Amino acid sequence: MNTEITRLHGTTSADLLAIPVIMLGFHPRESCVVLGVRGTRVEFCARMDLDWFTNDFRFGQVADQLANAVERCSGCHVAILAYTADPEAGALAVEELTAVVGEDIVLEALVTNGDLFWHVHPAGLVPPGGVPHSYGSSNFAAQAVYSGVNVDASREAAVLAVQPPHPSSSAALAATVQGVAKQLAGLRPVDRMVLLSRHMGDRDQSGNDPTELALLLQEEELFGEVLAQLSTRTAQRLRPRLAAARRISDDALAPNVLALLTLACWLDGEGAQQSDCLAQLESLDPWHPLMRILAKMHRSAAPPGAWDG
């Protein structure tokens, strides 16, 4: 995702801390964020857990992804920001990220606990007592409210729409799936394609059953049809429909739905949902035909436009 930031080089530190909240769509907690900045434009925004560097595998993943993002963003500088209740731990995470991306391109390094912020320096956090800070008082927060930008309270809230059904509903969902499957089995292939087109079309979806969509996507030809339709232009329309199908899909139905939903989230700039769907898919079906390309584009920090190309 990228966004235009007015007078970025004159932006206050407090305003800088608000930018990831808007770009991510939620308030990061116990997190580090790297912003790639070129001129007056934020070209990329990457979030990771605060303790990302304590696991060798995760360290390698983060280092590779950031190196690829910086390489793609020729001439970029970065801001490294930590959001945590433990400022000292935040400072350590920021220092580790600075070493990964290279100190020479770091414009700003900050830590905030939500009420105060500090600059991260080799000698420690400056000033020692911190600077008063709140997201709501920043200029960018005011712009977001005026523009109608929705910001969730947490990452958990931001990914709620792409979660599996609750175990307590499994029996009822199984009965529904069985009934819909019988109905679809009685249709000719051409009729199932027409039905899929209704799910993917521009018309109102309020009367459509997401169980129907989830079952249609189990057919290779219909799965391929949706894959062919996905682009940066269509993702905003198709992503909510695929998310609804995911919310009613058990482990057997979920992989095909998740593969398309991961792609739709990427194309629609929903980074948190994309990462969550990719992790779900890897857990359920690591050998899914789309898994390799989805993981590769995620790790390479490929921009959504690369898919259309």
- The confidence band for 10, taking pLDDT boundaries of 50, 70 and 90, is low
Q: Taking all residues of the chain, what is their mean pLDDT, rounded to a whole number?
A: 90
Q: Residues with Cβ < 8 Å from 191, sequence gap 6 or more?
A: none
From CA 25, how far away is CA 276, in angstroms rounded?
Answer: 14
Contact between 295 and 278 under an 8 Å Cβ cutoff? The reply is: yes
Q: Identify the pLDDT of residue 57.
A: 76
pLDDT digits (tens, 9 = 90+) for 78-108: 999 999 999 999 999 999 999 999 999 998 9
From CA 298, how far away is CA 186, in angstroms rounded?
Answer: 39
Q: Identify the pLDDT of residue 2.
A: 35
Q: What are the strands, taking DSSP E only, across the chain?
A: 3-4, 31-38, 41-49, 77-83, 106-112, 116-121, 124-132
> In degrees rounded to 5, what are phi and psi of residue 44?
-150, 155
Question: Poorest-confidence range of 121-125, 209-213, 224-228, 281-285?
Answer: 121-125
Q: What is the DSSP letter of 53?
A: G
What is the sign, positive or negative, of the torsion defined by CA atoms of 151, 112, 45, 140? Answer: positive
Structural tokens at position 266: 């990427």
pLDDT digits (tens, 9 = 90+) for 134-189: 888 777 777 777 777 788 999 999 999 999 999 999 899 999 999 999 999 999 99
Nearest CA among 302, 221, 218 for reference residue 267: 302
pTM: 0.89
From CA 28, how far away is CA 110, in angstroms rounded?
Answer: 14
Structural tokens at position 107: 């414009």
Kindly report the length of the chain: 309
Q: Identify the pLDDT of residue 6.
A: 36
pLDDT digits (tens, 9 = 90+) for 211-243: 999 999 999 999 999 999 999 999 999 999 999
From CA 96, how far away is CA 198, in angstroms rounded?
Answer: 50
Please report, as a single letter, which amino acid is at residue 110: L
